[in-house]
Structure 1
Amino acid sequence: MTEVGALLAGRYRLERRLGSGGMGVVWLATDELLQRPVAAKQLNAADGTNQALVEEARQRAMREGRIAARLHHPNAVAVHDVIEQDGFPVLIMEYLPSRSLAEVLAEKGRMTPGAVASMGAQAAAALDAAHAAGITHRDMKPGNILIGDDGTAKITDFGISHAADDVAVTRTGIIAGTPAYLSPEVARGHAPTPASDVYSLGATLYAAVEGAPPFGDDAENSIALLHEVAAGAFRPPQLAGVLAPVLTRMLHVDPAQRPTPAQASEALRAVVSGAPSPLPPAPVPDHAQPTVPAAAVAGPARESTRLDGRPVPEPEPVRSRRWIYLSAGAAAVVLVALAFLLPTLGQEETPPEPVFAPAELERVVSDYYALLPEHPANAWTRLGAGMQAQGREGYEGFWSSVSEVRIVEPPAVGAPNTVRVAIELVMPGGTRITEQHQLGLRGARQPLIESDAVLNSSTSTPPPPPRPAPPEKDTPKHPPGKQKGPGSEQGHNGNKGKGEDD
């Protein structure tokens, strides 16, 4: 069945070869009974001499057909039929005129956060349906997401997926999946779970918006790549903008802290619409919480560790007041001592203002400008009380007069809780205003933009269109009776000139 024009099962006519992968070759075929195009996936039996491997591959393909036939979702490629040709199974699948995400990224390099969020919301919805059917995909990656001509995204290739009630046929010791998109727990040898699919989808979306997977794509040294994936410490997204918080949750090293596919789909749709994220903040691990001593201890302050790994000194312990009660001094001395100590004690008990990690501050600023000018109401929630005190009506009125906002110099932290960024405002008439801002951020739990100072600004106005050349004019003629030639006494019409007697 390797020739164009071959007829399978008396029904499916092969038209042309679409592509190939580890499991086999995919053909475009015509279902002559229903008169519709289909994709025929032929089992790859390259090692025909090893009957054990051939039988295992046959079981894999049959299992893929049984599993995929359970799944009916608009964002999952449907399997219509499973047939046998020359003793090997052939899957007859829905044909989608499309390109894989891998092909799109190979051409474009990366995609915009909005396009990635739209694609991811569709893929997450399909995963939700698959998990409800007891299916774990196990190999989410750019090559297994198809993007149709109309923007529809569909998951394909459940060839190495695992159904909870199916007998596993993957050989012992083989990690199924692509290293750059595996979850940390799978890279450490644990069995794949639905949470692993969420991580792999997050890694796929990360690659689409950042231009590379979270841990790179070192195909030549997959063992070293697996070690990095297993450690789970990836580079925070730099170009994702408002998509970054959702990606960070999907890529959480703890599977229990990742969103479900349904939650991820909802959060990604919120990114597309500009609505606030429905995902609650991830709980902070106990070991990352700063510890305040319960009793007074003399000596230098100890250090605890933030989530970003930066050491932060703990608050100074509150001084003990036991000496007041143990003192044998008179009541007057006690009162004087208390009056002296109260202001100091009150200051010591005030918690210090948190210093946020540079990556978090830069992400907040990127997210803020990514919402403008289309979603000023959502951007308003990123402002602290100091900025909001200037009035919401004027704020939204200003941004309604801006056509486009572009970040021309990425946000960068220069001092604690201070970010500098350069933006370009494009006005309706084409005028461009380039400004460098210094933003101050504060917050009890998350940073908000509390101040905004414009350090410098420049304006460029498009040159006016060239004025059309004035049309050539004929020499104007004087009205009759007004023009006199030299020595003439009469006008053109024979009347007497002005001032002559009748």
Structure 2
Amino acid sequence: MTVDGRVVAGRYRLGRRIGSGAMGVVWQAHDELLYRTVAVKQLLLQPGQSEAEADEAKRRAMREGRIAARLQHPNAVSVFDVVDEGDGMPWLVMEYVPSKSLSAVLDERGSLPPQEAARIGMHVASALAAAHAAGIVHRDVKPGNVLLGEDGTVKITDFGISRAAGDGTVTATGMLAGTPAYLAPEIAKGHDPTPASDVFSLAATVYAAVEGVPPFGLSDNPLALLHKVASGQITPPQQAGLLTTPLMELLAAEPTERVDMNAVREAMGAVASGQHAPSFVAHQPAPATVAAQQRPHQPPPPRQQPPSRATSTAALPPVRPPQQRPVGEPEPSKLNRGAAIGVALAVVAAAVVGVLVVQMLNSKQQNNGGTGGGSQGGGTSATSGPSTTASTLPSRQPVTSDPTAEQSVQLVRDLYSQLPSGDLAAAWAMYTPDYQAKLGSESAWKSTLASSMQSISLSNVQSKGGDVYVVVADAHITKKDNSKVKQPMLFSIRWDGKQIFVNNETKVGAATPES
């Protein structure tokens, strides 16, 4: 279709075509009233649509204009006007951004360095946090909807299938809201989108930026891809560097395990500046309102000396002591803010504690003599047999300088060597107070371990990509009913300047049965 030179609404003279999508074509245009360049989206009816479908498409287009106009943010493309030319569909007049989409950039470059991807993710998260605060869920966050300006600006666009609180639902029967490769698992299962769904899609977009492919891969068969998305089985990133831990936690299969978009923005900002992102302690937002998912940040706990790990659950001091903090690194309180938020908002009842622990640890596999599968990085895999005593647990030596990968790996091995029925007090002391708060009381944690599994052992224990603060392993679990599964796990490690602790345990995809 050629409409070059056409004047829309008596003032917008169309120029070159700059984009197209499922709902229409975007033109660069000149606003002859205000003498500025704009983008005009010509919304098109699809061939073969009935009159009712065409009417629904018009209402959806008007809804896009209303929703997008509600959001005014420097990292979101603004909508200036919606006009009706009497030719069947409205035209949207939008901010013109000289740019390329992230999708086009990835086609050219293949992938981006982690810090560059994190900078993009930080700006998009900032816009989406504002959208969520306004009651808007984007529902189609993907590289094609992220614009990278020639001057370094980053903007999210195309709120065409967004849903805003208070707007009537306008969705064609059978219409899938979002692009399959970047959908959250709950959407693929048919659930309604929420802000947590946008968190997953943004993490998937950043994942694609550093890996070159989305977390569920690519497929010409959309149904097969949807099935894979619904399973939640992602491929752990190999090139993400400092982004590895936040991406794995933001890509959690359960939406209640993801933090809000404000925490995402802070984590991406930390990585963009070359720092370790704070490990998230996910909280379950109040389901009734969007506002409950946008709670304000809580200040981190006051700095104090490390407590005795055997008995205290006081807050940890900063991740790294001031005298050893590299030049240019922000205060540790900023790095830990995401974890502090999660703890402040977590409301974990004893019943929920049981579910969380079972999901993360599952069961235990009997492993006599440390033969739970060849572990990597030296040493033996973690094992659990008959009840052991504290004397079987190696003495915890102080870690007074930056930890090594071997020390982080050994920490995970030592912790799991006591589960589920060994020296559980010593194992509990290897968790940070933040993570202890997420698990609940020590007694409830011990009770759940005893009631849910016979044995658990680890194999293939190693640091992830050389990052000393990320450890991955396969957990081999024997449940109380004698069924056995293998569950890939990711562990976040925190250092307080004197000792290292496990700050989070995350399932990586679904468990697989073992004979």
Q: How far apart are residue 313 of structure 1 and its match?
A: 3.5
Preserved CA contact (<8 Å) 2:493 2:500? no
Partners of 1:346 and 1:222 lie apart in 2 by 53
How far has the Cα of 1:192 moved from its partner? 0.7
Cα contact 1:316–1:348 (8 A) shared by 2: no
Distance 1:16 1:93, change over 3 A: same
From the superposition, tell whether residues 358 and 78 of structure 1 become closer, same or farther in structure 2 (CA, over 3 Å): farther
Structure 2: segments with no counterpart, 5+ residues: 284-352, 374-379, 396-409, 414-457, 471-491, 505-515
Q: Which moved more, 1:155-164 or 1:273-282?
A: 273-282
Q: Deviations over 1:461-498 (max 9, x none)?
A: xxxxxxxxxxxxxxxxxxxxxxxxxxxxxxxxxxxxxx
Cα distance in 1, alignment partners of residues 58 and 367 from structure 2: 71
AA of the residue aligned to 1:445: V
1:363 aligns with 2:465: yes
2:412 corresponds to 1:354: yes
TM-score (norm 1): 0.63
Cα distance, 1:346 vs. partner? 5.1
1:271 alignment partner in structure 2: 271
CA gap 1:444/1:303 in 2 versus in 1, 3 angstroms: farther
Q: 1:164, CA displacement in angstroms?
A: 1.9
Question: Once the two structures are superposed, what CA deviation does each residue of 1:120-164 show, in whole Å capped at 9, x if it has no partner?
Answer: 000000000111111111111110000000111100001111112
SS at match of 1:313: coil
Question: What is the match of residue 228 of structure 2?
Answer: 228
Query: 1:286 maps to what in 2?
Result: 357
Distance 2:93 2:18 in 1: 14
SS at match of 2:17: strand
Secondary structure class of the residue paired with 2:463: helix
Query: What's the secondary structure of 1:354's corresponding residue?
Result: helix
Aligned equivalent of 2:502: 445
One-letter code of the match for 1:183? A
- Which residue matches 1:15? 15
Cα distance change, pair 49–17 in 1 and its aligned pair in 2 (3 A): same
2:155 corresponds to? 154
Deviating beyond 6 angstroms after TM superposition, the runs of 4 or more aligned structure 1 residues are: 298-305, 349-352, 381-385
Kindly state the Cα deviation for residue 174 of structure 1 after the two structures are TM-superposed. Answer: 2.6
> Are positions 1:26 and 2:26 aligned together?
yes
TM-score (norm. length: structure 2): 0.61
1:252 CA displacement? 1.0
Q: Cα gap change, 1:166/1:348 in structure 2, threshold over 3 Å: closer, same or farther? A: same
Counterpart residue number, 2:128: 127
Structure 1 residue matching 2:111: 3-state secondary structure: coil
Match of 2:404 in 1: none
Give secondary structure in 2 for the equivalent of 1:126. helix
Change (3 A) 1:83 1:210: same
Tell me what 1:83 maps to: 83
Aligned-partner Cα distance in 1 for 2:88–2:259: 43
Alignment of 1:68-467 (within 5 A): 68-85=68-85, 86-218=87-219, 220-281=220-281, 285-287=356-358, 288-289=360-361, 313-318=383-388, 347-348=391-392, 354-355=412-413, 358=460, 361-365=463-467, 444-445=501-502
- For 1:383 and 1:72, the matched residues in 2 are separated by 38
Query: Aligned partners of 2:94 and 2:461: how far apart in 1?
Result: 45
Residue 361 of structure 1: SS of its match in structure 2?
strand
Structure with the bigger RCO (C-alpha within 8 Å, sep 6+) is: 2
CA distance in 2, matches of 1:270, 1:189: 34
Structure index of larger Rg: 1
C-alpha separation in 2, matches of 1:364 and 1:357 = 18
Number of residue pairs matched by the alignment: 345
How many Å separate the matches in 2 of 1:168 and 1:445? 44
Percent identity, please.
49
Matched residue type, 1:365: D
In the TM superposition, residue 359 of structure 1 has moved relative to its aligned partner by 7.2
**SS at 1:131's partner residue?**
helix
* Structure 1 gap ranges (5+): 293-297, 319-344, 369-380, 390-441, 448-502
**Counterpart code for 1:316:** P
* Distance in 2, Cα, partners of 1:80 & 1:235: 41
SS at match of 2:38: strand
C-alpha distance 251-61 of structure 1, shift in aligned 2 (>3 A)? same
In 2: Cα distance, 1:96 partner to 1:172 partner: 33
Cα RMSD after superposing both structures: 3.4
Indicate conservation of the 8 Å contact 2:279/2:503, yes or no: no
Distance in 1 of aligned mates of 2:494 and 2:20: 51
Residue 267 of structure 1: CA displacement? 0.7
